[in-house]
Structure 1
Amino acid sequence: MKVIIVGAGEVGYHIASRLASENKNVVVIDKDPDSLRRVSENLDVQVINASGSSPTVLEEAGIKSAEILLAVTNSDESNLVACLVANMLSPATKKLARIRSSDYDDYHEMFKKEAPYIDTVINPEIEVVNTIQRLMKVPCAVDMGELAGGRVIFVGLVLDEKSPMSGVKLMDFGAMFGQSRPLIAAVVRNEELIVPRGHHILEPGDLIYFICEHGRLEETLRLFDKDVRPVKRVMIVGGGRIGHRLAKSLESQAIQTKIIESDMARCKFLAERMNKTIVLNGDGSDQKLLIDENVRDTDVVIALTHDEETNILVSLLAKNLGAHTTITKVSKFSYFPLMSTIGLKKVVSPRLSAISTILHDVRKGKVLTAVSLLREEAEMIEAMALETSAITGKPLKKIAFPKGAILVSIIRNDIIMIPTGESIVEHGDKIIIFARRQAVSKLEKMLTVKLEFF
């Protein structure tokens, strides 16, 4: 697969890193020599210092032989033009554009229907708002996502000492919990990602990723001694585009919402456009202001300013002052490993949301959904089982899955099944697979053609 990436910023760099590690042919185009230097010094990819919307440059990059063009610069207009020019030169190339301005929100579908030079519109701000709202629905979760059209849920939560699952071998789950048992897809222990097998024992402090049917989420959480508490009061610190989008959505759900924003002009802008949300002008990292606004009675404090350090400080202060839970927006990937260490486990990132959306379109085989997890260390992949793939037609115990990959669910005729070694995937089944980053390349081949793996 050949992929051309226009834009060498954080999203472009990390997508290039991800695809290069999977032995894909990657070309990165950017006008900024400093951004390109970072790419060329750290990644095994081709770089071109020029405008990605230039037809001459795109031809030099090999657009006619590229399967995918990703336009992910910081300019919506540049991304649109790059896709337009790419379509003129190579209509068969799939084109994805990152478009962040809310001015385009109502036109995403129109772009794909009326302007066929864009196959997928990526708005990381919309995706991160969706992620925040999923986390708000399950306050005990540190990560959560939906697959199979929302019918299957994956949840990441930290195992408590009092949990009945602490000290239990996975092979004993069936005897303890019967058919209601959750399927454990991954365990993170001491920053190490483990794809567990039957002999693994769960320990307090483990970050557990499990899979369950949407309708059985509350029942499954009770097995972990967790519950779902409805969110009634929310405080948003930072009234930028994401804060504005989130507040508008919360208003429609009748959730009491406050926004704290330091810029007075932005406060006036927000106040004119909100119906029930309280807009306050102030510093969200001011301890006295948080106390005055009853942060201890707030269900969720969400730090969404443009400054990473401010978001971290706000979340730490809010936790210390008694807020039930916090959600922190962080864009710098280098900060991610530090967050759980300082006690901030619920972290969202527009850039990571953009990467998850892009991965869906990049994956080979009939992939329906691909969600990046654990700071890009793993993926949850939903795919259609093809007749030609190595995964169909024989018991799972006879299939040599790549190391670090596990089949976690089979969906057949709208019935969701937890697989066993005797289960057989049939042509047309939907399957959900958890895979470490290193296993994805082999897994793609496995989903496409009948190959054997060691």
Structure 2
Amino acid sequence: MKIIIVGCGKVGATLAEQLNNEHHDIMLIDKNANVINSMTERIDVMGVVGNGAVYKVQMEAGIQETDLLIATTNSDELNMLCCLIAKKAGNCHTIARIRNPEYDSEIRYIREELGLSMAINPEMAAAMEIARLLRFPSAIKIDTFAKGRIDILKFLVQEQSILHNMKVREVLSRLHCNVLICAIEHGSDVLIPSGESVMMAGDKISFIASPSEANKFFKQAGIDNNAVKTAMLVGGGKITYYVAKLLENTKISVKILEQNVERCNELSELLPRVMVIHGDASDQELLLQEGIGQTDAFASLTGFDEENIMLSLYAASQSKAKLITKVNRIAFENVIDSMNLGSVIYPKLITADTILQYVRAMQNSMGSNVETLYKIVADRAEALEFRVAKEPSIVGIPLEKLALKNNLLVACIIRRGRLISPRGKDTMEEGDRVIVVTTVTGLNDLKDILR
């Protein structure tokens, strides 16, 4: 597909790399010539220097032959204008990044009036992930499928865990929970397990289950999953605002630490139920005074990665809180993963995943659309939710008779709201939703699971 990306900031650059890896024809537009030159030298993409909201610039970029335009500049209004012009000039699909909380309540109206295929808010998406993590404090990462009916959760196997040295096939008989282990990260290796695969202390395990079964699994495995009652959020940016808003009607008491006094006053007005503290979170005395040692959850959400990492490491030394660390740049992912930072949130990756899911669904041929897509291990393992179409090579055939690709697992079938943990005799039927976990990245269509 031919895709134009307007704005080569963190999200735009990440998208360009991921879509280029999937062999799309990418054209970049940015006002900064140095940024365009750097991107075109680093990856196989083309670029135009200029304002993406100018008709002439879009024409130069080839808008009339374009399938999709994605506007990810720092200005919501510019993104909307880019999409409006693209719709008129090229009649293509359009996606706009819209971040301002003021537009949040009007997003449906904006989408309809501007003819947007999608409006994406990275901060809201990150906040929703954080709110999910506070529901399951033992999980490092949670991805939701089938409109919240089923989750993929990732957690770390501790030294004394009952799961240490346990085979995957023993989980059901020993723990009596209906969960499916779908990925094991052992150091830098990622494995889609068989029944004989063994889990070890230090491994990161991803499993699929309904929320109630996930709770039961954590309990049976002796993993402490106490409900979060108090949360301390550092930094008063958009993500913090959205997290506090999402937690407003829950039993979680939220405290925000922010350095800028004007922003503190704003947050106090916007969030009357939240305690907002004016102060510098790098002041250890202030953190101790405000109860870092007693809080159930600690999220470092400032605009500086280094500060977020240091704050989370300090919180880990002072408490047993659920840690959440926001990281914008991903240059040292292996180093970050080796630190005790709890759940690491990458807003630009969450955004890129959402847009990638839409692109996959757009280009698919048979109608077995990619409904949901998550990168469960960076660029090495994906979990995808498909809607099953009328596909004779798949429908009605027992799974054991299908020639599935290696390193691929049909993890769950959802039929008329009922969850089926698939066995060899089970079949996929038209209208089902199917969740597939695989290290074979780039699947666009359900039939791509076949060899």
TM-score by length of 1: 0.93
Deviation at 1:350, TM superposition (A): 1.7
> 2:408 aligns to what?
405
Residue 8 of structure 1 aligns to a residue whose secondary structure is: coil
> In the superposition, relative to structure 1, how do residues 200 and 4 fare at CA in structure 2: closer, same or farther (>3 Å)?
same
Asked whether the equivalents of residues 19 and 356 of structure 2 are also in contact (C-alpha less than 8 Å), the reply is no
Aligned counterpart, 1:338: 335
Partner of 2:150: 152
Among 373, 377, 383, the residue aligned to 2:386: 383
Q: Does 1:435 align with 2:438?
A: yes
- Residues 169-188 of structure 1 aligned to structure 2 (within 5 Å): 169-177=167-175, 180-188=177-185
1:137 matched to 2:138? The reply is no
Aligned counterpart, 2:222: 225
Any idea what SS the aligned residue of 1:400 has?
A: coil
Aligned to 1:240: 237
* 1:389 Cα deviation from its structure 2 partner: 6.8
Within 1, Cα distance between the matches of 2:407 and 2:47?
31
Q: 2:376 aligns with which of 373, 377, 380?
A: 373
2:318 is matched with 321
Whole-Å Cα distance in 1 between the matches of residues 46 and 394 of structure 2? 34
1:452 Cα shift?
5.3
* 1:80 match: 80
Distance of 2:220 and 2:211 partners within structure 1: 15
> 3-state DSSP class of the match of 2:248?
helix
1:126 is aligned to: 124
Shift of 1:88: 0.1
d(CA) in 1 for partners of 2:101 and 2:192?
A: 39
Instruction: List alignment gaps of at least 5 residues for structure 2.
Output: none
Partner Cα distance (2:269, 2:142) in 1: 33
In 2, the alpha carbon distance for the partners of 1:25 and 1:399 equals 33
User: Secondary structure of 1:4's partner?
Assistant: strand
1:167 and 1:25 map into 2 onto residues whose CA distance is 46
Of 291, 300, 324, which aligns to 2:297? 300
Compute the displacement of 1:163 (Å): 2.6
Give the Cα–Cα distance (whole angstroms) in 1 for the partners of residues 42 and 395 of structure 2.
38
The aligned counterpart of 1:252 is 249
State the 1:177 CA deviation.
4.4
| Contact 1:382–1:430 (Cα < 8 Å) also in 2 | yes
Moved more, 381-390 or 237-246: 381-390
Partners of 2:133 and 2:68 lie apart in 1 by: 32
| SS of the residue 2:414 aligns to | strand
List runs of 5+ in structure 1 lacking aligned partners: none
Q: Does structure 2 conserve the Cα–Cα contact (< 8 Å) formed by 1:218 and 1:227?
A: no
Displacement of 1:248: 3.0
Q: CA deviation at 1:323?
A: 4.3
How much does 1:119 deviate? Answer: 1.4
The 1:273–1:415 alpha-carbon spacing in structure 2 relative to 1, beyond 3 Å, is closer
Report if aligned partners of 1:164, 1:223 keep a CA contact under 8 Å in 2: no
Name the % identity.
32
Superposition RMSD in Å: 2.0
**Matches of 2:198 and 2:85 in 1, distance apart?**
55
Query: In the aligned structure 1, how far is the partner of 2:273 from the partner of 2:11?
Result: 35
Cα displacement (A) at 1:344: 1.0
Alpha-carbon contact 2:414-2:433 (below 8 Å) kept:
yes
Moved more, 398-407 or 412-421: 398-407
Relative to the length of structure 2, the TM-score reads 0.93
- Which residue in the other structure is 2:111 paired with? 112
**Contact 2:17–2:43 (Cα < 8 Å) also in 1:** yes
Distance 1:87 1:238 in 2: 38
User: Is residue 242–residue 304 contact of structure 1 (8 Å, CA) maintained in 2?
Assistant: yes
Q: Deviations over 1:231-282 (max 9, x none)?
A: 1111111112222222233333242221111112222222233323222121
Tell me the distance in 2 between the aligned counterparts of 1:224 and 1:89. Answer: 57
Match of 1:54? 54
Query: 1:32 aligns to what?
Result: 32
Matched residue, 2:350: 353
Deviation at 1:185, TM superposition (A): 1.2
Contact 2:2 2:25 in 1 (8 A): yes
Rounded to whole Å, the distance in 2 between the matches of 1:349 and 1:2 is 27
Secondary structure of 2:355 counterpart? helix
What CA deviation, in whole Å up to 9, does each residue of 1:132-167 have, x standing for no partner? 111111111100121001000110000123332221
The 1:378–1:33 alpha-carbon spacing in structure 2 relative to 1, beyond 3 Å, is farther
Q: Pick the aligned partner of 2:273 from 272, 276, 293.
A: 276
Q: Match of 2:326, as an amino acid?
A: K
- Tell me: CA distance 1:397–1:35, structure 2 relative to 1, closer, same or farther (3 Å): farther
Judged with a 3 Å threshold, the aligned counterparts in structure 2 of structure 1 residues 87 and 250 are, in CA distance, closer, same or farther, namely same
- 1:440 is matched by which residue type in structure 2? T
Which moved further from structure 2: 345-354 or 248-257?
248-257
Partners of 1:63 and 1:389 lie apart in 2 by 37
The residue number in structure 1 matching 2:205 is 208
